[in-house]
Amino acid sequence: MADEKSNAEAYWKANLRLIAGCMVVWAAVSYGCAILLRPLLAGIPIGGTDLGFWFAQQGSILTFIALIFFYAWKMNQLDKKFGLEE
């Protein structure tokens, strides 16, 4: 019983660490590149516009979609590691 509880706690801790990492990446791209660093990225052309505008309109969305797939992949690895795969 205690072993199951410690396994569940370790699984939950790993899950929260993964979520926190994904949130940091999302915030860095969404707020950092699209808002805070936009003046620095304004001189870099991409797709007919500057890189800061591209991050605000497309890059943050594509990053979010990539994070969804990354999270699913990593959770499958965590499930296997902790013996919780389907």
- Give 3-18 pLDDT, tens digit per residue: 888 888 999 999 999 9
Q: What is the mean pLDDT of residues 64-82?
A: 95
Written as six digits, the tokens of 3 are: 């072993």
Beta strands in the chain (DSSP E): 45-46, 49-50
Say if 39 falls within a structural domain. yes
Say if 45 falls within a structural domain. yes
**Beta pairing partners, 26:** none
Say if 10 falls within a structural domain. no
Say if 56 falls within a structural domain. yes
Checking if the pLDDT of 2 tops 80, the result is: no
Q: Which of 83, 74, 37, 78 is nearest to 56 (CA)?
A: 37
Residue 79 — very low, low, confident or very high, per pLDDT cuts 50/70/90? Answer: very high
The residue segments making up the domain with residue 48 are 19-81
Which residue has 């993964």 as its token pair? 18
Task: Domain count for the chain, please give it.
Answer: 1
Tell me the per-residue pLDDT of 7-62, one tens digit each, with 9 for 90 and over. 889 999 999 999 999 999 999 988 888 888 888 888 889 888 888 888 888 888 99
